[in-house]
């Protein structure tokens, strides 16, 4: 619907585009002065409008453009209503949409009974409100906070339990998850290590419960509540719009952790066990051994690696139970020497190295654990000591740091020493969060810019979409005798499977010798100044693999 009375010329209509551009610049500069992340939201909308050539006459027209959410469009309509007060269409449209938004986002937090009536109206089928402090209450609140504060909408069972326990007064029961699933308040993924998230219905219920809880006042004030209405209706709408804009900006949030405001925590994978060569295993013993050395540890489900260090924001008050976290550059994969031999034999090791290198963390470390110093010279798992040493040396060439320990106690001492060194290194340093993995990849270690823990988990997940080049590497690593460094040299000449197959097809099938030796002249160790070639044996093996 056209927002202005009468027919307008194309020239006048384009003047409205310029008006909106001027307003967006003004709002962006205001946000910049106050240090608000809305600066980037307005900037994104501004770039979108500048590249748009058609005339825009209202905020409603802006909805078709990228970067314009409901809140910004409403704010534009407000400005048009102020500039063209005789245009009744703008005013009525603006008030109508503002009323709809207010109905959707505002709940009176000071009256729990009113909040419950709201839930009952939106949830007539179940008419279900969990008691405060119950397991169901804790699960809904935990999922809501993880989603809104950390953009982590899908959570595994272990992390959900760890977070939810903060809000449960009674004994926490995971069986409650099944009840919430039946009520369609949460959703479960179908993968083997399933993850949980809120449904639309569950999200609304969780918001209402949070607003009605005094213990969650800080969280509700920041993420859920709308500023109380005041006398001027336009100011009221502006407050509502700013709140909505902030919600839209949360997913792309960046932040700084000032020096002294965070702790260095060692995260241990929940599947990592304190194992000995006698076969004794204890999942919690690793954490206990480190805690006895005054190391701050947490057991979590890590998508890759066995140990990572995070910078965790210190709690500022009693209700601040979920804190921001950044993953530091160091990640350790621990391998007992017998397990390493087994991994090499069945080709799992190459894929594990590939996943570690693609985790995004800049300092991957392989910790090789022996059974005493004498075992360094012994054969393990049908592999002789020389072959194992060669494999470990190749791992260094692939870009890993290598740490060898003679027993599990030495491993614990190394982890404790490493943690204390990191604590000293970061004691006087402020660190920055990257908005996403793409932004993180453009930084270096000197920038002190890191991924959030959730971004690390998302980027390192086994279930992901690989590029053609990455899939080609995974294929090559399944071929016996082909290391990661050799695979990388091959893809420099043939970036994809298709390019290699096309090259094979261009050779006469009768010329078997040329096909078999196609890759034999590729230099493998040029980075270390060697002229060593891939050789005819592996070249023939690759040719057979793709024939």
- Give, for 244, the enclosing helix (H) or strand (E): helix 233-249
Same domain, 400 and 522: no
Residue positions counted in the chain = 547
Query: What confidence tier does 33 reach under pLDDT thresholds 50, 70, 90?
Result: low
CA angle 102, 104, 110 (to 5 degrees): 75
Q: Which of 105, 132, 154 marks a domain boundary?
A: 105
Q: Which of 426, 460, 494 marks a domain boundary?
A: 460
Q: Does 346 have pLDDT greater than 60? A: yes
Same domain, 300 and 208: no
User: What total number of domains does the chain contain?
Assistant: 4
200-211 vs 112-122: helix crossing angle, rounded to 10:
170
Q: Which of 41-50, 78-87, 324-333, 378-387 has the highest mean pLDDT?
A: 324-333
DSSP characters over 80-94: HHHH-TT-HHHHHHH
Same domain, 272 and 305: yes
Same domain, 416 and 522: no
For 484-536, the pLDDT digits (tens) are: 788 888 888 888 888 888 888 888 888 888 888 888 888 876 554 567 788 88
Domain that holds residue 418: 257-460
Mean pLDDT of 456-460: 76
Does 306 or 379 have the greater pLDDT score? 306
Q: Residue 495 falls within a domain, yes or no? A: yes
Q: Residue 243 falls within a domain, yes or no? A: no
Same domain, 431 and 306: yes
Question: CATH code at 507?
Answer: 1.10.150.670
Same domain, 395 and 527: no
The residue whose two tokens read 């270690």 is 445
Cα atoms in the 13 Å half-sphere on the side-chain side of 347: 10
For 117-132, the pLDDT digits (tens) are: 444 444 444 568 888 8
Return the sign of the alpha-carbon dihedral for residues 150, 153, 159, 162. Answer: positive
The residue whose two tokens read 């090789």 is 368
Rounded Cα distance between 30 and 24, Å, is: 10
Same domain, 437 and 476: no
- Give, for 312, the enclosing helix (H) or strand (E): strand 307-313
Q: Residue 309 falls within a domain, yes or no? A: yes
Q: Which of 105, 127, 155 marks a domain boundary?
A: 105
Which of 286-290, 297-301, 423-427, 524-528 comes out lowest in average pLDDT? 524-528
Q: Residue 120 falls within a domain, yes or no? A: yes
Same domain, 317 and 445: yes
State whether residue 182 is helix, strand or coil.
Answer: helix
Question: CATH code at 313?
Answer: 3.40.50.10130
Does 460 or 526 have the greater pLDDT score? 460
* Residues 251 and 151: beta-carbon distance below 8 Å: yes
Question: CATH code at 49?
Answer: 1.10.150.110
Mean pLDDT of 366-380: 80
Same domain, 429 and 284: yes
Same domain, 302 and 362: yes
Same domain, 125 and 84: no
The residue whose two tokens read 């057991």 is 299
Q: Does 94 have pLDDT greater than 50? A: no
Q: Residue 535 falls within a domain, yes or no? A: yes
Same domain, 95 and 128: no
Q: Residue 235 falls within a domain, yes or no? A: no
Q: Residue 163 falls within a domain, yes or no? A: yes
For 138-149, the pLDDT digits (tens) are: 899 888 888 876
In terms of phi and psi (left: phi > 0; alpha: psi -120 to 50; beta: otherwise), the region of 191 is: beta
Q: Residue 512 falls within a domain, yes or no? A: yes
């Amino acid at each position: 619907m056209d927002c202005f009375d009468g027919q307008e010329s194309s020239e006048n209509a384009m003047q409205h585009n310029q008006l909106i551009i001027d307003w967006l610049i003004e709002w962006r500069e205001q946000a910049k002065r106050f240090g608000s992340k809305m600066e980037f939201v307005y900037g994104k909308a501004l770039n979108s409008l500048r590249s748009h050539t058609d005339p825009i006459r209202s905020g409603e027209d802006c909805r078709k453009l990228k970067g314009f959410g409901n809140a910004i469009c409403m704010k534009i309509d407000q400005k048009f209503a102020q500039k063209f007060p005789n245009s009744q269409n703008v005013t009525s449209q603006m008030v109508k949409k503002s009323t709809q938004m207010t109905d959707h986002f505002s709940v009176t937090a000071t009256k729990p009974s009113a909040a419950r009536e709201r839930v009952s109206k939106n949830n007539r089928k179940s008419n279900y409100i969990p008691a405060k402090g119950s397991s169901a209450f804790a699960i809904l609140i935990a999922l809501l906070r993880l989603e809104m504060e950390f953009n982590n909408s899908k959570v595994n069972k272990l992390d959900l339990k760890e977070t939810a326990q903060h809000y449960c007064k009674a004994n926490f029961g995971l069986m409650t998850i099944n009840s919430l699933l039946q009520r369609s308040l949460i959703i479960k993924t179908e993968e083997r290590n399933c993850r949980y998230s809120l449904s639309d219905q569950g999200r609304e219920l969780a918001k209402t419960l949070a607003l009605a809880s005094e213990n969650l006042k800080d969280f509700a004030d920041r993420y859920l509540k709308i500023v109380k209405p005041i006398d001027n209706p336009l100011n009221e709408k502006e407050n509502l719009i700013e709140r909505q804009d902030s919600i839209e900006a949360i997913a792309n949030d960046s932040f700084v952790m000032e020096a002294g405001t965070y702790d260095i925590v060692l995260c241990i994978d929940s599947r990592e066990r304190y194992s000995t060569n006698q076969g004794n295993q204890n999942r919690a013993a690793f954490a206990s051994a480190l805690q006895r050395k005054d190391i701050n540890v947490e057991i979590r489900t890590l998508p890759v690696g066995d140990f990572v260090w995070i910078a965790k924001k210190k709690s500022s008050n009693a209700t601040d139970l979920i804190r921001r976290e950044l993953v530091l550059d160091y990640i350790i994969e621990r391998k007992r020497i017998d397990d390493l031999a087994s991994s090499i034999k069945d080709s799992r090791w190459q894929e594990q190295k590939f996943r570690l290198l693609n985790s995004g963390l800049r300092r991957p470390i392989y910790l090789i654990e022996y059974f005493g110093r004498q075992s360094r010279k012994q054969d393990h798992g049908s592999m002789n000591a020389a072959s194992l040493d060669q494999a470990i040396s190749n791992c260094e060439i692939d870009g890993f740091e290598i740490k060898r320990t003679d027993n599990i106690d030495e491993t614990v001492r190394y982890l404790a020493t490493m943690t204390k060194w990191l604590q000293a290194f970061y004691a006087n340093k402020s660190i920055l969060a990257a908005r996403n993995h793409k932004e993180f990849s453009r930084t270096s270690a000197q920038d002190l810019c890191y991924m959030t823990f959730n971004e690390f988990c998302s980027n390192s997940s086994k279930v992901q979409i690989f590029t053609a080049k990455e899939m080609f590497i995974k294929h090559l690593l399944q071929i016996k005798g082909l290391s990661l460094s050799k695979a990388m040299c091959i893809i420099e000449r043939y970036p994809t499977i298709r390019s290699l197959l096309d090259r094979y097809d261009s050779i006469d099938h009768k010329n078997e010798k040329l096909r078999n030796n196609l890759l034999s002249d590729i230099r493998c160790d040029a980075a270390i100044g060697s002229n060593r070639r891939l050789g005819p044996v592996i070249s023939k093996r690759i040719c057979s693999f793709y024939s």
